Amino acid sequence: MDDAGLGIVTNVPGFGGTQVLAECLKITRSVHPISLHEEVAYSIAHGASLLGQRSATLVKAHGFAKAANAVIDSLSAGTTAGFVVMIFDDKLGEHSDSIFDVTALLRGLGMPYRVLQPRHAYLDVLDAFRRSEELRLPIVLVVDADDLDQAAEYSPVRKRAPSPSYERDVSQHVVCPQLAQYQHRVLETKMSEQDWRLIKKPTLPRIPDDLPEAFQPTARSYVPLFEVFRKLRGRIVTGDTGISMLFAFPPYDCIDVGTYMGGSVPLAIGAYMAGYHDVWALTGDFSFAAAGHLGLVEATNRGIPLKVLVFADGKAAATGGQPLQDRVLDCVLRGYEPYVRRISNPQDRAEVEAILKEATHTREMRIVLADYRER
């Protein structure tokens, strides 16, 4: 993996991946902290690859299944630099709770994959990174866990091309209903090995006027905050499913990459690890409580001073307004209270600016709660 120019590896402990990571660290003499959740680990590597850093994640088959939501959206969002997923298949269930056919899952997801051949493992890995950068998609290598003890001979390949550099393209990198049909056509074209760049890009909606009528009241309430945020936003902003992510569109252009509900936090970690230290993650309170907080555990584990902006509506605004009880959000935030800052009136530009500026300049983690809840 070192010869492939790999910069970031994520791994949740499990048979196969743990052993391979340990061998990689011996060779590279580097440190890659373990992850605690496969969906988070996958999204960290995906986020880094979107920002131009070759990445990999090493997981068991069951862990890959746990990450399927992130996997599906990574196909729609694509990649920039190579992103390779090594799945360790415990076919006999000797190290797993149960047995299942991971290749059937891969086919169902439409994920490009190949089964790694032990004798050609070195070249298979290099080719997977090359293939990923050709298609701008993640590539899976399925590894039979029973083959880990097999020896392989290889001749090191030291000449490697530089990884592609990141260019902002929300039509490709922000996954949302407004872009779903275009991104699906792009994916189909990539998989058929044709030039997806020839597909005409959609006209981006303007916020908030071009949104569905049901979304407009919430989006309009966000406008004062985004008018301040876009002046302080830094180099990279990640988002996840919800109305706040639609501010990726003009005239605000406040989000650069975004995927599934709760995915903004691990994507931001990946961006940070790829060298973009002035990164923000934007999320709704429902998304944050459901899954986004899993990324905070990861940021804490890695000592990353992440900046997170939570739009607290007290409901799932994008799916019909289902309520989120205050006590749920309070419980999630309690462990991070020293890092929490609250915007009590998001319509007050002066308050918004003061709190966002403090969060931007501190070297600590910040979780900024913009409180839109009705009292």
Provide the residue type at 130 as one letter.
Answer: R
| Residue 105: domain span | 2-147
- Give per-residue pLDDT as tens, 171-196: 999 999 999 999 999 999 999 999 99
Same domain, yes or no, for 183 and 104?
no
Query: What's the pTM?
Result: 0.95
Q: Residue 333: inside a domain, yes or no?
A: yes
Same domain, yes or no, for 36 and 129?
yes
Per-residue pLDDT tens, the chain, 375 aa: give them. 667 788 899 999 998 888 888 877 777 667 778 899 999 999 999 999 999 999 999 999 999 999 999 999 999 999 999 999 999 998 888 888 899 999 999 999 999 999 998 888 888 999 999 999 999 999 999 999 888 777 666 667 766 778 899 999 999 999 999 999 999 999 999 999 999 999 999 999 999 999 999 899 999 999 999 999 999 998 999 999 899 999 999 999 999 999 999 999 999 999 999 999 999 999 999 999 999 999 999 999 999 999 999 999 987 777 777 888 889 999 999 999 999 999 999 999 999 999 999 999 999 999 999 999 876
Same domain, yes or no, for 350 and 260?
yes
Environment class of residue 165 by beta-carbon count within 10 Å: exposed (0-12), middle (13-18) or buried (19+)?
exposed
Same domain, yes or no, for 139 and 245?
no
d(CA 212, CA 207): 10
Same domain, yes or no, for 204 and 137?
no
Q: Whose CA is closest to 72, among 39, 50, 41?
A: 39
Same domain, yes or no, for 269 and 327?
yes
Among the candidates 116, 147, 178, a domain finishes at 147
Number of domains in the chain: 2
Same domain, yes or no, for 318 and 357?
yes
Q: Residue 160: inside a domain, yes or no?
A: no
Q: The domain that contains 211 carries what CATH number?
A: 3.40.50.970
